[in-house]
Amino acid sequence: MTEADIIPTICNLLGPYNPEHKPLNADTDIPAELNIDSVGVLDFIMEVEDHFDIEIPMNVVSETRTVGDLARYVATQKNRV
């Protein structure tokens, strides 16, 4: 599974957090551009965890601002042996 495979899924999962339907891509800064508050970001991350059946500790969340950052982390977790 590559980052490119994961990005469209993350963008879909962001749907409920993007009421203004802003265009989303790998460079989208999730909290800043979508104006999601801190709790909202954590709720969204739970959706990503459950969709991919992986663990994304809260400690990682502050380092993953963009869709691309998050896709990279998901890919790393999914591709772990």
Phi, psi of 56 (to 5 degrees): -120, 90
In the three-class reduction of DSSP (H, G, I as helix; E, B as strand; rest coil), residue 54 is classed as coil
Count of residues that interact with another protein, criterion CB under 8 A: 15
Q: Toward another protein, which CB reaches closer, 37 or 63?
A: 37
Regarding 58 and contact with another protein (CB under 8 A), the answer is yes
Q: What Rg do the C-alpha atoms of the chain give, in angstroms? A: 12
Regarding 59 and contact with another protein (CB under 8 A), the answer is yes
Question: In the set 20, 37, 63, 79, which binds another protein (CB under 8 A)?
Answer: 37
Which H or E element spans position 9? helix 3-13
How far apart (Å, rounded) are the C-alpha atoms in residues 44 and 48? Answer: 7
Residues in the chain: 81
Question: In the set 9, 26, 51, 54, which binds another protein (CB under 8 A)?
Answer: 54
Q: Kindly list the residues in this chain that would bind another protein in the complex (CB under 8 A).
A: 37-40, 42-43, 45-46, 49, 53-55, 57-59
